[in-house]
Amino acid sequence: MAVHEMTAKEAARKVMNKEPLFLLDVRNESDYQDWKIEGHSIQHLNVPYFDLLDGVEELMEQIPKEKEILVVCAKEGSSVMVAEMLSDEGLDVSYLKGGMKAWSEHLEPVKIGDLKDGGELYQFVRLGKGCLSYMVISKGEAAIVDSTRMTRQYLDFAKEKGAAIKHVFDTHLHADHISGGRAIAEQTGASYWLPPKDAEEVTFSYNKLEDGNEVMIGETAISIQALYSPGHTIGSTSFIIDHQYLLTGDILFIDSIGRPDLAGKAGDWVTDLRESLYTRYKALAADLVVLPAHFMIIDELNEDGSVSEKLGTLFAKNHGLNIEDEKEFRKLVSENLPPQPNAYQEIRETNMGKVTPEEEQQREMEIGPNRCAVR
C-alpha cells in the first residue's frame, strides 16, 4: 500500500471539520503527554519510535483499518520510517510533513465577520500552540493584532486580499510565543504599537498604545480603540473593534482567565486582574464578541473553527468571572496556575529585543502548549 504526505494545513482542516483520524504518535511518552494534536474525532495511540525498531507487527491489532491513519513525530523522519513499515504490512497510511514543528507553526485563517462600511475581520488560529491573532481589513488597508513569528503567512494573506499593512499591535509583551509584530512593521513600513508599561525594557522604538487611542483603518469609520486592562501583564491592553468585537489579549479567555504571574508579580497584579475583569469589562456592552489571544482546549473552537463568544455569555458561564469573594478569587489565580511556558523568560527577552535567537532556536523555545490561563 502507499505512503502519503499530509501537510499541517491538511491536518488542521481535518481537525476543524471533525473528520475521523487515527493518530499514531511515535514521540517519547513525556513529549506526547505534554503536547499533542487534539481534535473531537481523533483517536490516539502513542508508541515511541525506539519501541518499533524491530517492526510494527504487534501494533497491527491496535490500528483500526477503517480510519485514516496519520503517523506523527517531532520533525518527520521517524514518522516516515514507521509509515513505510505500516505500508509494508498492507495499510494505507500518511505521515505529517515537518512533524510537530510544522504543526506548531501552521496558522489557519477564519473569517470572523464583516465590519461596517465593507471591512472584514479575520482570526488566525494556531491549532498547534493555541495562539490566536487577528487581521482587520478595510478599504485596502490592514491592521494585525498579536501576530506570531510566522510573518510570511500574514504578508501573503494581506497581499491576497489586496490590503497594505499599516498598523501592527501587540496587546501585551508576550511570554509564551515570539511576536512577529516588529518584524512585520519593519518589512512593510507599518507602525508598531505596544503598551508602554510593558515596554520599559525594550531596545527598539515603538508607538505607545495607551488608553483612549483610536487608530483608523482605511478611509471608513472602522477604528481600533485601545482599552487599558492590566492583570496578565501590567500593560495588558484590550481592543474594541468597530463597536462589535472585544479583543481581550490574555486577560479573558472563553473558558478561563489570564494568569498574573509571568513577570513574577502575581501578588501585585491579582487586584489589577480583578479590576479589569469585574469592573472594566463588566461596564462594556454584553453583546460584544470576545476574541482572545489564546485558547486552551479544542472544545473552545466553534463549528467553523473560530474561537469567540459574547461577553454577556462569558459573564454567565465563565467561572473566573463569577467569584464574588475577593479572597476566593485571589486564591484561584494564585493556586491554580499551570507550569510556566517553555522558555518563557527567553521569549520575553526576545520580544524586548534584548536577544535575537536563530530561527531553529526560536522553534525550540516555542515547542509545547501555551500556558497563559488560570486552570
Question: Which residues form the catalytic set?
Answer: 73
* Cβ-based neighbour number of residue 67 at 10 Å: 15
Q: Please state, in angstroms and rounded to a whole number, the distance separating the CA atoms of residues 123 and 273.
A: 25
Question: Residue 247 carries which side chain, given as an amino acid letter?
Answer: L
Beta bridge partners of 108: 125
**Three-state DSSP class for 324?**
coil
Residue 327: burial class (beta carbons within 10 Å; 0-12, 13-18, 19+)? exposed
Angstrom distances, CA of residue 94 to CA of 45, 69, 73: 15, 6, 12
CB of 290 within 8 A of CB of 251?
Answer: no
The terminus-to-terminus CA distance of the chain in angstroms comes to 45
Report yes or no: 352 and 297 within 8 Å, Cβ to Cβ. no
Are 360 and 246 contacting, i.e. CB atoms less than 8 angstroms apart?
A: no
Coil vs helix vs strand at 272: helix
- Give CA–CA dist 353/350, Å, rounded: 5
